[in-house]
Structure 1
Amino acid sequence: MPNILFKNITDGQRNIENKIYTLAKNKGLSSEEIEPIPDGVGDIKAYCESSPRIMWILKEAYDNYVEDKPAGGEWNLYDEFDNENVWTIPTWQVIAYIVYGVRNEKHWTDMPWVSENTSMVKDLKSVAILNMSKMPAYSSSPTDMTPQYEIWRSILFEQIELYKPNIICFGGTFKYFKKDLGLSDSEPIDGARVYKRKSQLLLDLYHPQQRTISRGDYVDNVIDCIAKWYNH
């Protein structure tokens, strides 16, 4: 399975990247000032060999501005994890703690600080990280991203099928996917925002930069959820 998956993802990721640029052009979203930010997996071999295979679906990325409008793009999201200072970005910090905790069976108080172990963030290259919108955006997302979801829905579901994740963590994005995932009439299991879809575990989470609970509690809640409900 890993070897087949590796080949499929290697070929499929390039194909989807081309589709992202084509769709952006056909929809009039790209121009001389702005191009898409494709996403997916940085280290495909490590992703295929990881257990569980984890996917995060976030909202959108931002890059630059021209006359107060989003601009930039034409780089791959997963390449960001090679940048020297990427560990300073709060979203990547939180996801790195969760992935580290899941893989090493540790909780928040047992983990090293990401600032002292920056390889934790580079390990995110072995995680599938998608944005619901593939275009550069403002630094804060709109309350309703239905228009962006409608534009990119077919590609998003192609990505979910391609990467075959065991666990999908929706960071403030689950409500857009629920019906199309066939869960419109489903209740979460155990009274929590946890769903089962075939062999996949789906987590309806706040965005990693949420301020509802402490960072440590957020990290531990996700780790405990996966430990309880993921069937190895």
Structure 2
Amino acid sequence: MLDLRANAAETNVASNARVRGHGCSEREARKDERHVKNIIGRKVGMTSVFLDDGRFVPVTVVEAGPCLVTQRKTADTDGYEAVQLAFGDANAKRVSKPMLGHFKKTAAAPKKFLREFRDGIDGVEIGQTVTVADFTIGDRVDVLGISKGHGFSGGIKRHNFSGGGASHGSMIHRQPASNGDTNAGRTVKGSRRPGHYGVDRVTHQNLEVVRADAERNLLLLRGPVPGAKNALVVIQQSVKVKGS
């Protein structure tokens, strides 16, 4: 028993030394593993898949990339660090001359969409291609998109109001009630009223990468993703990683 305890103690000391040694911690190593986790894509739709443990989970299929690095911004020239990714081929006749000159700097064909990323840009250079192969199963990502548009909507649909009574004698069924107190004599700014619903910038955080198909440029993300079918989505490494 003494030998086992001694061996266990030596193992713990050695592992702690490896973690503290050379200025490389476990968290830094985990950060380095996911340094290129930014990509642009289109939402294909939703389906369900079986996981290895037998669970049946809903997933969103995203056609992601390939994306080309068209610009690298630095603190010396631009005041901040960032990389610019381009996605989707564009007709050169529909691209402005300044943008054509921008793409000529990297000898790349004109692209439709350009997005900047400030996180996860270590080791990324101009001309590099970012693909689904940079993602692995279990990665956590944040997905940004534009929510579906619902036009002009009432309070029940837009703000989940309860509504009035539905039986005989009720004068209010779905319309909103009082606008406020008599003393104010006006509608307070910011109050929830009927209006345009949707077409907002929405971010879904901490979505798990269930599968990554590099051959077909497909990412399967667990859960829903903002936007309608074929909507543009931006996938980036999670800011609030669970368990970190």
Q: TM-score, normalised by structure 2?
A: 0.23
- Structure 1 or 2: more helix by fraction: 1
- Structure 1 or 2: more strand by fraction: 2
Structure possessing the higher radius of gyration over alpha carbons: 2
Q: TM-score, normalised by structure 1?
A: 0.24
